[in-house]
């Protein structure tokens, strides 16, 4: 269970994260620095952030819950990103870097015009704040249950901490924290997997597979629990959604930060490798939970959805004293990554796409930087309030809630800014017009179709062909199948309807009234086809980033090494040696690279002199 050592570990982590923001505060001199690190970051740090932003505590809570309930079906969702990332590496990463903007919303203006920019600003910002609120609620619900404290207090404390990190350091602090989170998340996950597999109740990987296959055969043999047609549709829908999402203008934020085009392409390697290996590790503890904890409601009576505690229930049983505190830090850190990225990203959108062009067109950079920091505090407060409201009124599990929110609200906005990056013969209104039609369709799916889907005689109402495709007409749809089918119909239908509208708007592109649209589109695509000149690459040194991050990793890694003094057995002490050693070693390497860079820069300056 939770010990005093775990509390101390968590307290130190929170203080460390706050200090991290303070350390990086001096690097932001203007809005380009504050929102995209001045386009000066090396590929390995931006790649780390691009990978971590794709998951949060949802991975340890929502996805773990789905593994506990349904088995390895969740891998279809994780691996849906792989084809999308291949396209990013092959085509899109370099296009993103060539857009020559500070925020992705400025790219929307460059491609579709100021009306679409304002539409997206006023629709997308609230949507993303809600998603951040869901993420904060996810980790807070669980931590409140583990520590047996009121959830509202947890939401407020965690929300304030995350906001301070984003406020103090801007994008520099966000990326730096992401790198530390990556080291912590992966080392802790590896330990959780190893400790779980070596537990006597599991008996290694072969033992886990045998036990789960006997107790819950549908977890591996999906066709026993789910209709194959729905599973195939579910996986295909997520593949299409991720292809559009990861290659859209909105996803360009991380690719505006690397120092050059080669760095932008190279950074995709990290999310690709992490996306292949990571899911295979994360599914093991919740699968083991089906064996070790057949009734999670008895373990977490305060959780409204007890299966969301599957991962940590196993960790509480197999991890030594103090290590569970590091796991909770990793879960918090994963949520922090997503939330502070959302705060920084959408404060940038608000300042650069509303405040600057509408309220203060001639505002100097110093003024905009101050406004951005104030807005960061405001957005953080809004996320905390939304998180409190979502927790009070939600009626479904986190896994289903986030997925349906993504396809119902996010997808109609994503399709135009995805297609518009590759096809230019559409007028400016094609972005907001397509999105509105997509909203109309998703509303129909979530109200009218959902009502029909929940009817007891839904299968009987379908045509014979549809019943044959679904299979097993004699068996009613389960609750999970209904949720999956609703997502498939929402996602694929939205993709079809919005694509037809977007390409159909090309009929208006050649008209005289669309002359401004044609000129703007030509300018945007000319940028995409024009490589960056040497002077457009980052002119500032990344040596301070290497140095500061190296010191921070050595400090945090050194603290973890001190935890070897906790009265654990040899295996427990070796766990802390592994985590602390990896983080400390990374810090030493970064610090030595910084020294080498400083020496090279001094020699270069002497040569120029």
- What CATH number is attached to the domain comprising 534? 1.20.1730.10
Confidence of residue 166 (pLDDT cuts 50, 70, 90): low
pLDDT at position 535:
56
Q: What is the dihedral of CA 421, 424, 428, 433, to 10 degrees?
A: -70
Does one domain contain both 609 and 528?
no
Domain end, chosen from 489, 523, 540, is at 540
SS (H, E, C) 275-332: HHHHHHHHCHHHHHHHHHCCCHHHHCCCCCCHHHHHHHHHHHHHCCCCHHHHHHHHHH
Does one domain contain both 521 and 595?
no
Ranking 172-186, 224-238, 451-465, 480-494 by mean pLDDT, the lowest is 172-186
User: Considering the domain boundaries, does residue 206 fall inside one?
Assistant: yes
User: Considering the domain boundaries, does residue 377 fall inside one?
Assistant: yes
Rounded Cα distance between 577 and 505, Å, is 60
pLDDT at position 33:
59
CB atoms within 10 A of CB 461: 10
User: Considering the domain boundaries, does residue 407 fall inside one?
Assistant: no
Q: Residue 265 belongs to what domain range?
A: 4-34+43-225+242-396+511-540
Does one domain contain both 527 and 609?
no
Does one domain contain both 64 and 157?
yes
Does one domain contain both 608 and 522?
no
Does one domain contain both 104 and 195?
yes
Rounded Cα distance between 553 and 188, Å, is 16
Q: Taking residues 539-554, report their average pLDDT.
A: 78
| pLDDT for residue 601 is more than 80 | no
Phi-psi region of 478 (alpha: psi -120 to 50; beta: other; left: phi over 0): beta
User: Considering the domain boundaries, does residue 134 fall inside one?
Assistant: yes
pLDDT at position 287:
95
* 421 and 92 Cβ atoms separated by less than 8 Å: yes
| pLDDT for residue 606 is more than 50 | no
pLDDT at position 18:
73
Residue-wise DSSP of 548-559: HHHHHHHHHHHH
pLDDT digits (tens, 9 = 90+) for 80-134: 999 999 999 999 999 998 998 878 888 999 999 999 999 998 888 888 888 888 8
Does one domain contain both 606 and 521?
no
Measured CA to CA in angstroms, residue 24 lies from 20, 34, 63, 165, 538 at distances of 7, 10, 33, 10, 18
Confidence of residue 165 (pLDDT cuts 50, 70, 90): low
Does one domain contain both 111 and 190?
yes
pLDDT digits (tens, 9 = 90+) for 252-309: 888 888 888 888 899 999 999 989 998 999 999 999 999 999 999 888 887 778 888 8
Q: How many distinct structural domains can be found in the chain?
A: 2
The structure's pTM equals 0.85
| pLDDT for residue 208 is more than 70 | yes
Ranking 41-55, 277-291, 337-351, 524-538 by mean pLDDT, the lowest is 337-351
Does one domain contain both 337 and 389?
yes
Mean of pLDDT over the chain: 84
Ranking 214-228, 286-300, 323-337, 376-390 by mean pLDDT, the lowest is 323-337
pLDDT at position 608:
44
Does one domain contain both 554 and 528?
no
User: Considering the domain boundaries, does residue 180 fall inside one?
Assistant: yes
Q: What angle do helix axes 104-112 and 323-350 make, rounded to 10 degrees?
A: 30
| pLDDT for residue 234 is more than 80 | yes
User: Considering the domain boundaries, does residue 471 fall inside one?
Assistant: no
Does one domain contain both 546 and 607?
yes
User: Considering the domain boundaries, does residue 287 fall inside one?
Assistant: yes
Does one domain contain both 515 and 549?
no
Residue position matching structure tokens 């067109």: 361
């Amino acid at each position: 269970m939770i010990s005093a050592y775990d509390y101390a570990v968590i307290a130190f982590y929170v203080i460390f994260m706050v200090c991290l923001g303070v350390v990086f505060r001096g690097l932001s001199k203007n809005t380009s620095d504050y929102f995209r690190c001045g386009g000066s970051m090396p590929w390995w740090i931006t790649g780390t952030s691009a990978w971590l932003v794709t998951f949060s505590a949802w991975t340890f809570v929502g996805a773990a819950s789905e593994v506990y309930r349904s088995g390895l079906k969740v891998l279809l969702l994780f691996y849906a990103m792989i084809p999308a990332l291949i396209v990013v590496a092959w085509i899109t990463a370099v296009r993103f870097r060539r857009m020559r903007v500070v925020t992705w919303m400025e790219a929307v203006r460059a491609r579709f015009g100021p009306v679409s920019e304002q539409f997206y600003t006023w629709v997308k910002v609230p949507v993303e704040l809600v998603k951040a609120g869901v993420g904060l609620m996810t980790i807070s619900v669980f931590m409140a249950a583990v520590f047996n404290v009121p959830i509202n207090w947890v939401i407020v404390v965690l929300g304030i901490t995350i906001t301070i990190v984003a406020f103090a350091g801007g994008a520099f602090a966000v990326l730096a924290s992401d790198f530390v989170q990556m080291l912590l998340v992966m080392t802790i996950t590896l330990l959780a997997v190893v400790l779980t597999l070596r537990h006597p109740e599991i008996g290694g990987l072969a033992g886990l597979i045998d036990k789960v296959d006997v107790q819950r055969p549908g977890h591996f043999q999906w066709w026993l629990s789910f209709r194959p047609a729905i599973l195939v549709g579910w996986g295909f829908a997520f593949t299409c959604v991720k292809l559009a999402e990861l290659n859209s203008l909105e996803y360009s934020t991380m690719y505006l930060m690397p120092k050059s085009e080669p760095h932008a392409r190279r950074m995709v390697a990290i999310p690709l490798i992490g996306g292949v290996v990571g899911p295979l590790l994360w599914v093991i503890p919740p699968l083991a939970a089906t064996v070790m904890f057949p009734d999670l409601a008895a373990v977490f009576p305060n959780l409204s959805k007890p299966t969301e505690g599957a991962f940590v229930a196993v960790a509480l049983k197999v991890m030594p004293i103090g290590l569970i505190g590091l796991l909770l830090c990793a879960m918090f850190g994963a949520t922090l990554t997503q939330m502070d990225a959302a705060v920084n990203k959408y404060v940038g959108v608000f300042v650069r796409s509303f405040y600057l062009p509408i309220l203060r067109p001639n505002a100097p950079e110093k003024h905009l930087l101050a406004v951005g920091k104030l807005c960061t505090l405001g957005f953080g407060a809004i996320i905390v309030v939304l998180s409190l409201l979502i927790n009070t009124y939600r009626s479904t599990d986190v896994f289903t809630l986030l997925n349906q929110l993504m396809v119902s609200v996010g997808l109609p906005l994503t399709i135009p800014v995805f297609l518009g990056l590759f096809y230019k013969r559409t007028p400016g209104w094609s972005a907001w017009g397509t999105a509105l039609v997509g909203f109309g369709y998703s509303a129909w799916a979530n109200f009218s179709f959902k009502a029909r889907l929940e009817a007891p005689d839904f299968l009987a109402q379908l045509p014979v062909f549809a019943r044959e495709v679904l299979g097993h007409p004699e068996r009613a749809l389960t609750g999970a199948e209904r949720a999956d089918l609703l997502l498939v119909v929402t996602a694929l239908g939205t993709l079809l309807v919005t694509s037809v509208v977007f390409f159909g708007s090309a009929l208006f592109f050649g008209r005289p009234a669309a002359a401004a649209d044609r000129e703007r589109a030509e300018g945007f695509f000319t940028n995409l086809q024009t490589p960056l000149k040497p002077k457009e690459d980052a002119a500032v040194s990344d040596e301070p980033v290497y140095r500061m991050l190296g010191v921070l990793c050595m400090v945090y890694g050194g603290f973890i090494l001190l935890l070897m003094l906790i009265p654990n057995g040899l295996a427990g002490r070796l766990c802390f040696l592994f985590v602390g050693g990896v983080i400390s070693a990374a810090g030493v390497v970064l610090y030595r690279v910084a020294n080498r860079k400083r020496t090279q820069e001094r020699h270069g300056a002497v040569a120029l002199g």
